[in-house]
Amino acid sequence: MSDATRRYRDGTMDTSPRPMARTFKPRRRRLGSQRSAVYERLTPLFALSETGSFLDLDEVFAGRHPICVEIGSGNGDLASLYAQTHPRAGLIAIDVHRPGIARLLADIDSDGLDNLRVVEGDALNFIDRLPDASVDEVWAFFPDPWPKNAQAHRRLVTPERIARVARVLKPGGSLRLATDVATYATQMRKVLAADSNFVSVKDERPSWRIETHFEREGRERGRAAVDLCATRQ
C-alpha cells in the first residue's frame, strides 16, 4: 500500500492526499553557544531553503560544473572534503540534523568554500525545487536502513522516490548509493534495475568517497559496504 492510501476495516479505501512517510529518523541535538552563533550568522549567506520556487543553479554556483547533490550529508566530512578538492564543482549538502549543517557552515566560512551550499530539511522536499535535468550527480551514502519489515516503506530507495530523484539528473548523470545492510543493497539493485530512467547499474565506489565513522563501525562489525552507480538515460 502506498503512503497516499489507507484501507478502512470495512474494505473501503481512503485515497485523499497524505504526506509521504519520512525517510529519516528525527534526532534532536542542541548546538553549543559558539556553534549556534556560527549557524545564525552564516545560514542567510550559504543555506538554501528546503521549499520554494525553482532554483537557477548556474546562478547559485556562478556557472560551476558539475553540480552534485548529497542526500544525508551527516556531519559533513565528505561534503567539506569534496568541496575543497573539487573547487570547480558545485555541491549542495542536505541533512535534517542541525549540528552537521552548522559544522559545514563553519567549514564554508573558514576554508572559503564558496562552491558549497547547505540545506537543512527533507531532501525530497528540496529536490522539488530543482529543475528537470539540472544536476550531474546525486549521492545517498548510507541512508537510514529501516531494517524492520514494517519500516521498509520509509526507505529512500523505493520506485516512487527514486523516480523523483531521476527527474533532476541530466542525461548521462549519476545516482550514487551506498549501504552496508545486505537487504537494502538487494532492494537498491532491484529498484534501479526496474527504473527505465537508468540505462545501467554497476558496482562502483568513487575514489573520493571517504570512509565515514558509521561505515567504519559497520566494517568492524563485519558489514561490508556496497556502492552502486546508476547512469541516467
144 belongs to the catalytic site: yes
Q: Which of 144, 180, 203, 227 is catalytic?
A: 144
Give the Å distances, CA to CA, from 95 to 32, 73, 120.
19, 6, 5
Closest to 198 (Cα-Cα) out of 188, 206, 185: 188
What backbone phi and psi angles, to 5 degrees, belong to 139? Answer: -115, 140
DSSP H helices in the chain: 33-46, 57-60, 77-85, 98-111, 123-127, 159-168, 182-194, 213-220
Q: Give the residue numbers annotated as catalytic, written as ranges.
A: 144
